[in-house]
Structure 1
Amino acid sequence: MPRGIPNAKRDDTGIKYTAFHVPLAINPKHLGSTYLKSENQTIWSRNAQRKSKAPPEEPAAPEQRRGSQVIVVHPGSRFTRIGRASDVTPLSVPTVIARKTKPPVTTPTFVEGISRPRKGRRNPRPAEQKQGRDEYEVVVSSDDPFEEKIAAITMSLRDRMRFYKLRVSRNAGSIASTYNDSRKPEIIAEHNDPYRIDWIDGPNANEDVLVGEQALRIADPQASNYMVRWPIYGSNFNTRDYPSIQLILSDIEVLLRATLQDQLGIEPSDYQKYSVVLIIPDFWNRSYVRELVHMLLVSMGFKQLCTQQESLAATYGAGISNACVVDIGAKNTSVACVDEGLVIADTRIALGVGGDDITEFLYVLLDRICFPYRDINLARSYDWNVMEDLKTRMCTLLEVDVALNLYDFIVRKPAQPAEKYSIRVYDEIILAPMSIFEPRVIEFDRKRVGTNDMLHSDVTEEILDQHPSDQVTQAMTISTQHLMPAPVPEENSPDQQDGSARMQDTSGPDGEPRPVATEGSADMSMDVIDVEEESKPPIVPPQKQTQQSPSKSARGQSGEPQAQPSPEDFGIDVCFEASKLPLDVAIFNSARAAGGDEKIRKYLQAVLVIGGTARISGMAHALESRYVKSMMFYKEEFTKPSESDVKRLQAIATPLVQNMEKVQIIPPPKDVDPRVLVWKGGAVLGKMDGCSELWVTQNDWDVMGMRGLKERCFFI
């Protein structure tokens, strides 16, 4: 009988209740071991020692440029930028692949991300059929919710035109509709069309796989039994069109292999000689990065790899160290602040609006004024390219460009001669890009229908680590504070009420509150714009925040510290709700998450806008004008503005922080396309000597996986 257990019954059966073996206690003399406690015992040190003992490699040819053995890859929704780090510009390959499948082939459908008018309503300019007395007034004569949204955006435009004293053509919509409805296409003979397209159809469509431009030149994918798909959507994989993650990775690998072999002349047997710089999104998904790194190092067999975030790569390409980087891509927009070569994690915001939404919205607006090309289908690649060409040549954010202008465009269809159309437009050219500042017409819920997470986020190699990329950032929390319920007011004692009254007695001569700004204050009493409302809130002067006792604000009645409630505690999808913000509000909230007034001034005076949409004329003016600071809110003797002044300020101004004249938009370097600025930053990193500390080899990945990537990167 064991000691210490009185009246213990003897087990007559002799069978154990469990097969679990209790390990022996650890030997105390091993507790003082120095295993893996010094730097020379890490895998990185062992790799360096092994490399020093290895036979010397063959010296590189003297004619090779620096970075010629480094490949920079920047995947995107519409285009993948790829090239050697020594190249001046990268190759821009459409991220699309077409595979031969067994019939029948599913007909592609276009997922609408923009609101549409009700069926059967194709009247020209219904929002202007009834004119008001004021030329800037917009009267909605329809109960269609879509027309109300368009009228709200139009009213915002008219307010800005009123501020700049620009005239409005009251019957421009009717003139444009009448002209477009009567236009017939002009036929262009094949020998007169220098840009005719060599379509792939019939006997030419015998390849099993077509990638990039070739996939877009298939005349009729359904008739040729081709399945055309885009493997990347936004900052993640396209899980809507693919049944499994393996098919997505297979298509991406085929796309990269074909591009490297056909356009860069790099054979698969030479992959082991090349290093790869992989550009990943700012708000990156851990599984997305892991699968891409595994594909490049293991499946394709490259020598080594390092990853870099888009915002940091953009600052490298622009040659600056601090900036608020705004990357407007095809499917979404990313905002993040970079401080001395490091992306501040809490400043990241991912918006669910991109250049494709502007293209689709432009089509909806042109359809309201009798778009002359009637047989358009955005699911077809050549029709989508028509709208992309119109967006590039038409769209502007300068109010002075709003006028009745005439444009022409050419439609090239398979097995048909090219057709030239002419179209007359008015304010559609500015209303379409204004959707990034007025996102009320975007159907965010509809855009994420059909997407699923195939990369089980709860399966990870590091159980004890909390991944910052999977958490909600401070900028997103600030952006969704207006969705939280109002806090319950606390009851103060008479002494505290008397003290609060004395602190709040800062009224001016007219009895109005006088704004008091504290230098370095992190929390500013800014009104957060609720994009679900049809109108923006009025501009009000910032009020001085009431100081609370630390015992009341930070501790409960029992004296224990209480955690501040977050929107997630109330069942709010913070990431999704924050993606609905207007661009100007998202930039300001991102800067607010970086710190106090000094940080806000620092980043708002260095805003770097990149991406294809950044090429729209007047983008810098549109952002700067929406951040113009009204000096009357910061006068020592505050005077209440008149109603007319408030209207003028609402059209163009948002009060910011004290002692900041304006927001400054940094243009990209001269002769550098903002679409390839991120890639050029990755090329700069690949040629730097310090990049040798960031490489992850195949052996490192095989032994440690994501942990090895984490120890080599600053942001994982």
Structure 2
Amino acid sequence: MPPAKKSGRALLREEGLERTDNNLKSHTWPIVQMINQKNYYTFVLTVLPLVQLLNESCREYLKREDQVMVYRQQQEESVKAALQQAKDKSMDGDTMDVDEEGEKEEEMLGSKVIVIHPGSQNLRIGLASDALPRSVPMVIARRSDKAEFEVGPPYPNRKKADAGENGEEEEEQEEEPMFGPEFSHQLREMSTELKQRMRNNKRRILPNSKDLVISYNNRTAAEVVKEHNDPNRVEWTEVPQDSPPEYYVGKEALRIPDISKPRYRLLWPIRHGWLNEKDYNNKRKLLADISVILEEGMRTELGIAKRDIRGTYSAVLVIPDLYEKVYVNEMLELLFKDFFFEQVCIIQESLAASFGAGFSQACIVDIGAQKTSVCCVEEGMCVVESRLNLKYGGADVTNTFIKALLVSQFPYRDINLWRRYDYLLAEELKLKYYTLNDAVISVQVCDFHLRAPGSDTKKYSFKCYDEVMIAPMGYFNPKIFDHSYKLEGRRSLLERSYDIYDGKPDDPISTAQLTLYQASRPSSNGNASVNEVGADGGAATPVNSLLLTPAKAPTLNPFSHINLETTAATPRSSIAGSPAPEGTPIFGASTPAFNFGGPVPFSHVVPIGPTPLELAEERDKQVPVCPLDQAIVESITHASKGDEKKIKEYLGSIMIVGGGSQVAGLNHLLEERLRGMKRYSDFNVMVAPPPRELDPQVIVWKGSSVFGKLKSTNDSWIRAAEYDILGSRLLAYRCLWLY
């Protein structure tokens, strides 16, 4: 008899196959349902185009201007301004002439724009609508235990006592020079060169001119003038004893008596075109002093209080041609976060000078107090490879002038440039007597009044001869200047700027400046020429690339004097990740563990040669110094790139600006030296001051004020709202050059 048929449920129960998991899934993977074949075209027409659009958007991310917030906001504001202008005209029925309306808008814009040009010695500040700026000494005096003349030895620092009237002491002076053998050697060489120049120009030369000067100065005594008989007596800053202020700024700081109670010490936040890291031990104090000087300058000179700036005024900041990004970022942060300017734009010094002079193409030479810059400008842009930054200026001429006078037995032998009244006296003597016109060089009698706080005025008479021309001739022989202190404190407070992607130093540098650094390093044989200056003020090799064919800039490497192990196979020749052939030696590996035969990953190969960081550190150990005429040739060489037509155009439009260019005869002497170079002897060389009799000291500020009033500069304005979002990264979109 066959078994009874069982139901499927019974079989599952007996065999243990019945579900007991309450319909829970055995896995969590999503189940993809089959596509309905009837609606397949819907997926093709809707989903695939979206995927393709997404891929295309990713490939074009930030490659179009409409994808960048800065440009998008700019277009939106332009549209809003146009709509608002059309609306105002339709409502008011304005029939004003277009030119009158434009002038009115420009005047209104200039009255709310503050142009700021900070320098090593002076701050030029003013409204863009002003004809000329106000000059404020870039100095602050803060309460201290000691004044600056009490901190260190006097300057210039004598290396022996002053010689007297007898012959023995004069012989000792010749054996042991007052300022060292190097300065004495340079002084004699420049004096001989000047005599030869005067003979060539048929000038009369007395054979015993130096002896007459020294003999007269040794016999001269000071004449005391009572204070009530001195019509030009100085009004010194009176420091209250009960509640002395914490600081003084500008001219008031320079007029504080050196022996005041309490003592005050002068601090200059900017030195040699860099932020002063030598006299400060805190970056915050350094930036705070810059802020105080700007605030006091706006309040006293412009009548604008700090609280009135927020949301009302804009600023134009003038920066050097070869700037440091840390300096630009800190100044931008100061203007936005401390003064709350509505918007700020940035312009380079040489470009501003071309704006002020109205030149579309020129070689701009800006001689400041402690920095000289050379740059070629073409069609409203600085030629990036032509920029040069030299660390000497009018202050070095002042120091050299006083040294030369002391060698000639200057009657006021106790002069110390760390004392404020002596510093002001030295500046007065330099501006009054120095010249580069050899027609006026003769033994002449000069006089000056020494006005010190708390004492009667003293009148001195002295004779001078070639000292008045030797000091400014240091522009063409900077070896006579003292460079030993110019790198003190460098990189002690402020780190250099690095690229956020590859970590390399990204401060701008030009091929002309690199050539200068290469020529300024010590030679391998230990010898050096008079044109090179190292970190210790020593000599260096001459600039040997000035008159080479400029068709292609040479490959520059300040580390070329270092002997590195090289091989025929260059690790940098390929970026592929394939291993090296078996048995190939690996040079420059990070550890000896990789110096064995066999496959070695490319990531373990270290390129031979100095890194960009090492190159930047090597440059920081050298003072960039070069004769002015050779620097101009070097800048034009790199700007023209072998084009003879451009060389002629630049040589025919050299313009000298800055306070250090006010020496008489500088333009003529510079033209003569440029024509004396063999390569440019047949060219038309023209060195001219700014046109329309503009003051060369303010031509950069004047051009910046013109730039701040132009409508076309709207693209370069950095607005506060944008800066809050992007910070200094915004400079890559707003600057007129490649930041």
Partner in structure 2 of residue 239 of structure 1: 277
1:83 equivalent among 111, 120, 126: 126
Aligned to 1:42: 68
* CA deviation profile, 1:297-343 (whole Å, cap 9, x unmatched): 12110010011111111111111011111111111211111111111
Match of 2:626 in 1: 581
Matched residue, 1:607: 654
- Give the deviation of 1:565 after TM superposition: 9.9
Whichever residue aligns with residue 119 of structure 1, its letter is: K
Superposed displacement of residue 50, structure 1: 5.8
Distance 2:444 2:346 in 1: 46
Query: Which residue does the alignment assign to 1:347?
Result: 386
Name the structure 2 match of 1:419. 458
1:589, 1:539 → 2: CA distance? Answer: 10
Per-residue CA deviations over 1:242-296 (Å, capped at 9, x if unaligned) read 1112111111111111121222111223212111010001111100000001100
Query: Is contact 2:505-2:616 (8 Å) kept?
Result: no
What does the per-residue CA deviation read over 1:159-200, in whole Å, with 9 as the maximum and x for residues that have no partner? 212221223222111211222222222333333333322222
Greater alpha carbon shift after TM alignment, 78-87 vs 565-574: 565-574
Q: 1:499-539: per-residue Cα shift (whole Å, max 9, x none)?
A: xxxxxxxxxxxxxxxxxxxxxxxxxxxxx984479999999
- Residue matched to 2:357: 318
Provide closer, same or farther for how the CA distance between residues 438 and 685 of structure 1 changes in structure 2, counting only shifts above 3 A.
Answer: same
Contact 1:112/1:446, CA 8 A, preserved across alignment: no
| 1:291 equivalent in alignment to 2:291 | no
1:389 equivalent in alignment to 2:432: no
Contact 1:109 1:379 in 2 (8 A): no
SS at the partner of 1:293?
helix
Aligned to 2:702: 680
Report the CA distance between 1:210 and its aligned residue.
1.2
Tell me which of 261, 264, 278 is aligned to 1:223: 261
Cα distance change on mapping 1:373 and 1:686 into 2, 3 Å: same
Shift of 1:117: 6.2
Which stretch of the first structure deviates more once superposed, 439-448 or 566-575? 566-575
Of 110, 116, 124, 1:67 maps to: 110
One-letter identity of the residue aligned with 2:271: Y
- Report the CA distance shift for 1:434/1:409 in structure 2 as closer, same or farther (over 3 A): same
Q: Secondary structure at the match of 1:32?
A: helix
CA distance in 2, matches of 1:304, 1:458: 24
How far the C-alpha of 1:404 sits from its partner, in A, is 0.7
Query: Which has the larger displacement, 566-575 or 333-342?
Result: 566-575
Are the aligned partners of 2:345 and 2:717 in contact in 1 as well (CA < 8 Å)? yes
Letter in 2 for 1:706: S
Letter of the 2:70 counterpart? W
Distance 1:463 1:543 in 2: 37
Distance across 2 between alignment mates of 1:583 and 1:390: 23
- Are the aligned partners of 2:654 and 2:686 in contact in 1 as well (CA < 8 Å)? yes
Q: What's the offset of the Cα at 1:463? A: 2.9
Partner of 1:10 in structure 2?
none
C-alpha distance in 2 between matches for 1:616 and 1:322: 25
The AA in structure 1 aligned to 2:55 is L
Q: Which residue of 1 aligns with 2:135?
A: 92
> Which amino acid in the other structure matches residue 671 of structure 1?
E
> Residue 656 of structure 1: which of 679, 682, 692 is its match?
679
Q: Residues 172, 117 of structure 1: CA spacing in aligned structure 2 closer, same or farther, 3 A cutoff?
A: farther
Shift of 1:367: 0.8
Q: Distance in 2 between matches of 1:274 and 1:383?
A: 39
Task: Return the letter of the residue paired with 1:621.
Answer: H
Q: In the alignment, is the contact (CA less than 8 A) between 1:310 and 1:678 conserved in 2?
A: yes
Give the SS at the match of 2:678: coil
Cα 1:125–1:437, aligned 2, differ >3 Å: closer, same or farther? farther
Contact conserved, 2:532 with 2:542, CA < 8 A, in 1? no
Gaps of 5+ in 1: 1-26, 131-138, 488-527, 548-555, 629-652
Per-residue deviation, 1:669: 1.9
Change (3 A) 1:124 1:357: farther
Say whether 1:158 aligns with 2:195.
yes
* CA distance 1:56–1:243, shift in 2 (3 Å): farther
| 1:445-487 Cα shifts (integer Å, max 9, x gaps) | 3332233342222556x33597764435334316635859799
Q: Is the CA contact (8 Å cut-off) linking 2:520 and 2:542 kept in structure 1?
A: no
Pick closer, same or farther for the CA change 1:529–1:426 going to 2, 3 Å. closer
How has the CA–CA distance of structure 1 residues 112 and 165 changed in structure 2, closer, same or farther, with 3 Å as cutoff?
Answer: farther
Using the alignment, how far apart are the partners of 2:195 and 2:545 within structure 1? 21
Q: Is the partner of 2:731 in helix, strand or coil?
A: helix
Letter in 2 for 1:589: E
Q: Which amino acid aligns with 2:192?
A: M
The aligned counterpart of 2:512 is: 474
Structure 1's 68 and 111: CA in aligned 2 closer, same or farther, altered over 3 A?
Answer: farther
The 8 Å contact of residues 140 and 147 in structure 1, kept in 2 or not, is answered as no
Is residue 152–residue 534 contact of structure 1 (8 Å, CA) maintained in 2? no
CA distance in 1, matches of 2:457, 2:507: 48
**Distance in structure 2 (CA, Å) of the matches to 1:284 and 1:171:** 49
Residue number in structure 2 paired with 1:30: 54
* TM-score normalised over the length of structure 2: 0.73
Aligned partners of 1:251, 1:485: CA distance in 2, in Å?
Answer: 41
More displaced 10-residue stretch of structure 1: 379-388 or 192-201: 192-201
Deviates more, 1:366-375 or 1:190-199: 190-199
Paired with 2:732 and 2:250, the residues of 1 have a C-alpha distance of 33
Residue 211 of structure 2, aligned match among 174, 189, 192 = 174
| Post-superposition offset of 1:392 | 0.4
Equivalenced residue count is 605
Query: Which residue number in structure 2 is paired with residue 698 of structure 1?
Result: 720
Match of 2:36 in 1: none
Distance, in Å, in 1 between the alignment partners of 2:245 and 2:68 is 49
Distance 1:706 1:538, change over 3 A: closer
The 1:542–1:455 alpha-carbon spacing in structure 2 relative to 1, beyond 3 Å, is: closer
Q: Secondary structure at the match of 1:31?
A: helix
Kindly indicate whether the alpha-carbon contact (under 8 Å) linking 1:321 and 1:341 is maintained by their aligned counterparts in 2. Answer: yes
Change (3 A) 1:213 1:542: closer
Separation in structure 2 between the aligned mates of residue 540 and residue 161 of structure 1, nearest angstrom: 30
Superposed displacement of residue 365, structure 1: 0.8
Distance change in 2, residues 1:311/1:535 (3 Å): closer
Shift of 1:369: 1.7
Q: Which moved further from structure 2: 229-238 or 174-183?
A: 174-183
Q: Which amino acid aligns with 1:213?
A: K
Q: For residues 549 and 73 of structure 2, what CA distance do their matches in structure 1 show?
A: 58
1:441 maps to 480
Name the CA shift for 1:542/1:417 in 2 (closer, same or farther; >3 Å): closer
1:262 aligns with 2:319: no
Report which stretch shifted further, 268-277 or 596-605.
596-605
Distance between the aligned counterparts of 2:166 and 2:362, measured in 1? Answer: 42
Bigger drift between 369-378 and 287-296 goes to 369-378
Q: Residue type of the partner of 2:649?
A: K
DSSP 3-state at the match of 1:325: strand
Q: Is the Cα contact below 8 Å between 2:139 and 2:250 reproduced in 1?
A: yes
Residue 295 of structure 1 aligns to a residue whose secondary structure is helix
Using the size of structure 1 for normalisation, the TM-score is 0.75
Pick closer, same or farther for the CA change 1:159–1:534 going to 2, 3 Å: farther
Unaligned runs of 5+ in 2: 1-50, 89-100, 553-566, 574-606
Residue 593 (structure 1) shift: 1.1
- Do 2:523 and 2:540's aligned partners in 1 also have CA atoms closer than 8 Å? no
Q: Could you tell me how far apart the structure 1 residues matched to 2:520 and 2:416 are?
A: 39
Equivalences for residues 115-194 of structure 1 within 5 A: 118-120=159-161, 122=163, 144-194=181-231
